[in-house]
Amino acid sequence: MASPTRLLIVAIDGGAASGKSSTARALAARFNFMQVETGFHYRAITAEMLRLGVRSDDPSHSQRALHELSLETRVEGQAAWLEINGRRPGDEIRSPEVNAAVSHFAALPAVRARLLTYQRSQVDVALAHGFRGLVMEGRDIGSVIFPDAPLRFFLHADPTERARRRAQEGQTDSITERDRLDSSRKTAPLTIPEGAIAIDSTYLTLNEVVNHVAKQVEQHLRQSSAS
Ligand code: CDP
Ligand code: CDP
């Protein structure tokens, strides 16, 4: 991994529909940071495994299939997208089948190890594209992927409000069940990293959350340009 010193890394974690990707997208646009949605990575791998007929309760088959996949990155605007075997996964990653299977594949250590390497490599991608910051969101960014990131946020929201947000998007998704699986797995569980800034967005608009996070980023940028 290249030294991240020239790049400000912002980690955003939280449960399903807590507002991570919307916040990351808005932040990336405001500061010209590169934005990475790691949920997309887990969903993309899951869709590929389902397409290949691999089951999450067959870890050795998963491991073999994983080995065959080449993972690359395409940057479009501020967003960095994962491509698997030269193709960017499409809408299938939001299907009810993927929603139901993703937390099971995400609990496999081999899947997490492969994505850890890939996700850390996004620092090089961001530097190569001339970005001054990288905002990455997921479940283990501030705890495992970039535990030394200077800015780490954890978004909360009441489960009822999160279910309402997902339903409004027209999705069939059992977010409470995914949260339960994601929080209880052995490898890189969903947890509030020590020292992370927690934000409860239940009664906040997206704009209010973004302004709160952006203030911290501005403060950090001011401090680092002064030192
Ligand atoms: O958008 P939503 O919050 O519903 O989920 P997502 O961010 O697209 O992530 C889908 C699933 O991927 C999660 O429920 C986790 O099982 C897994 N995931 C993970 O384990 N670690 C991450 N850093 C990101 C996602
Ligand atoms: O990435 P994650 O699954 O955590 O959430 P998201 O996809 O960013 O947000 C889920 C939905 O909730 C989106 O339609 C957002 O516009 C909405 N949202 C909201 O209504 N209020 C917030 N404070 C944050 C997100």
The pLDDT tens digits of the residues spanning 12-63 come to 999 999 999 999 999 999 999 999 999 999 999 999 999 999 999 998 999 9
Residue 102 Cβ inside 6 Å of ligand 1? The answer reads: yes
- Number of independent structural domains in the chain: 1
Residue 182 Cβ inside 6 Å of ligand 1? The answer reads: yes
Give 153-193 pLDDT, tens digit per residue: 999 999 999 999 988 888 777 888 989 999 999 999 999 99
- Distance from Cα 157 to the centre of ligand 2, integer Å: 10
Q: List alpha helices for the chain, DSSP H.
A: 20-31, 38-52, 59-67, 96-106, 109-120, 122-128, 159-168, 175-184, 206-226
Residue 16 Cβ inside 6 Å of ligand 1? The answer reads: yes
Residue 108 main-chain phi, psi, to 5 deg? -80, 125
Give 97-135 pLDDT, tens digit per residue: 999 999 999 999 999 999 999 999 999 999 999 999 999
Q: Between the CA of residue 200 and those of 17, 124, 187, 221, what are the distances in Å?
A: 12, 32, 25, 24
Other C-beta atoms closer than 10 Å to the C-beta of 225 total: 7
CA–CA gap between residue 21 and residue 137 (Å, rounded): 7
- Distance from Cα 138 to the centre of ligand 1, integer Å: 6
Q: What is the CATH number of the domain that holds 192?
A: 3.40.50.300
Structural domain harbouring 164: 4-226
CA–CA gap between residue 15 and residue 182 (Å, rounded): 9
Which ligand 1 atom sits closest to the C-alpha of 178? 14
Whether residue 85 has pLDDT greater than 80: yes
Protein residue whose Cα sits closest to atom 11 of ligand 1: 39
Give 182-225 pLDDT, tens digit per residue: 999 999 999 999 899 999 999 999 999 999 999 999 999 998 88
pLDDT band at 2 (very low <50, low <70, confident <90, very high): very low
CA–CA gap between residue 217 and residue 152 (Å, rounded): 10
Whether residue 84 has pLDDT greater than 90: yes
